[in-house]
Structure 1
Amino acid sequence: MASHKMKRSLGSVLTAGVLSVALVSLPAIQAGADPVTTNPTDALTKLGDLSRQSEQTSEALHNAQIDLEAKQSAQRDADATLAADQGVLDAANARVAVFQPVVNKLATANYQGARTNRLFAVMVSDSPQQLLDQMSALDAISNDTRNQVAQFQSATSEATKAAEASKESADAARSATEQAKAVSDDLQRKQSDLQAQIADVIKAFGDLTGAERDQLAGTPFPPGFDPNTILAHLTPGSGTSALQAGMTRIGDPYVWGATGPDEFDCSGLVVWAYKQIGKTLPRSSQAQASGGTPVSRDALEPGDVVLFYNDASHVGLYAGNGNILHASTFGVPVKIESMAKFPFYGARRY
């Protein structure tokens, strides 16, 4: 039934959960890094290898989504800066245009030999009163012209600076757009890779016998684990509450790109559990490995986010006594099991 549910939701998850990308190269498959370490048959071993690869690709896509969103945000900021700088440039050019006619007339008059000084007034005056009148007029013309020329020079300087700023912002906007496009193009390739890997996983899962599928799914809890006892002795805190929320999803299927409410991938389960207590965690396991506060392995507390493999491509919630709650892999429902089965990367407390 769980298998049917997983296959039924696969198409919608691929469309909704893995929509965009970033320039994140796919990590190589780790030798011996199979989430299922006790497979007794070649079929289970093959499925484990394929599932591990698809999980790495899926988490790389989640990380790429974060990168793409950041680049798209940078592109929007660059476009807004360009628009603002262009507005300043337009205003500066408009101010230059106001004083341009005066400067043009002055330049034309000088070219044609116009005389606008006091000596010229003395030479052409017929009487003392005419001389005074002409000198007063020349002073007024000179002051007004001088002021307008000064304002023209100021406006021209502002326009030059605005043009330089506009060019820089245009270059930044073009660069941001190119980066976002490159990330988006890479996303399409990664999405195609994941779809092909998922098809391989589903085929390999279909080749398993019923007994092999039961063995793969395992049990919800490790031997001797009593969830009621664990919950009863938990110390109140945000991590504890996230773990309690996550434990309500035990038995739900693993689906690539899913974040709940009843289907999950590994980082999706962590995101969902913390969302129930009002905290928003990054979408990818790698991003989750960079947030919060670092915690050493010997200081783990229930609800801490625990990362695995050297690329931090798998994640779960610490459930006490060396166990984790996690969405393991396709064909394995959400469960609690020993974290000793996986190569420890690090832990964070949110």
Structure 2
Amino acid sequence: MKKKPHVIVTRRLPDAVETRMRELFDTRLNIDDRPMSRAELVEAVKTADVLVPTVTDRIDATLITEAGPQLRLIASFSNGFDHIDVETALARGIVVTNTPGVLTQDTADMTMALILAVPRRLVEGAHVLDVDRDWAGWTPTWMLGRRISGKRLGIVGMGRIGEAVARRAKAFGLSIHYHNRHRVAPEVEEALEATYWDSLDQMLARMDIISVNCPRTPGTYHLLSERRLKLMRPEAYLVNTSRGEVIDEAALTRLLEADAIAGAGLDVFEHEPSVSPKLLRLAAKGKVVLLPHMGSATIEGRIEMGEKVLINIRAFFDGHKPPDRVLPSML
């Protein structure tokens, strides 16, 4: 009987995915769902044929160099792969895969929710009806927000998620603008009535709402630097459902405190899981809406991610190229 590959999973996955993993492979699950320590990750790469990490695991060069010769595949349960030193893995002959595409609609939904929530002050309004508060009733000038229809939305990163956000935003009457490394196909631009900006600086200075949807790469670290954030109009809002490191969070906080930016909606943070106390205070004042990295958190999405992990592992050990390999050209 063919020996099953030894698979180590770093966090709890949906029951259906874990059950199938146990059926197909010699799988060690993380039943307690406690983040693995560095020592546990080292032990895992020394013994596993396949490591299944998540975005919270730092699979850096030092860890990869600790791997035993049996580790042949890192099948990440994630859309992004910035938590993995892919170059070091490939140099060691270790294939890296991810789970692209399945989170597009879920993340776009959450992005649109934040685009609505921040200007319309939805979280502030919900807090008014907390059990320990009294609501005096409706008045014409209370809790006034901003209309989003007719406003300009600038999308930073017009990939799958950026396009999905644009489709939703267009339905809400927003004017679509975008900055991307490459211009999208003419038929996409035409369908979205989208305006392309080759200069990110020029786009930032003219938008009412900015949505960050680009991946985290060495080139996008602090892409929205303090200099660029200062280009935004005082009436503008910023939404980020991508990666916290794309924005200089300390600079953003200072600008929000100074009312140099009208507000922000953040689902990701630069130093996750730590959240800046200053951001928490701004949230209490209604200046920002903060979510705990839940943009892709749907049951359907997580199961689809798990199915992609299973397919990648099976394809690899059946002697085929996994469909979701991370290639050097993608770095």
Normalising by structure 2, report the TM-score. 0.21
Identify the structure with the greater helix proportion: 1
Higher CA-based Rg:
1
Normalising by structure 1, report the TM-score. 0.20
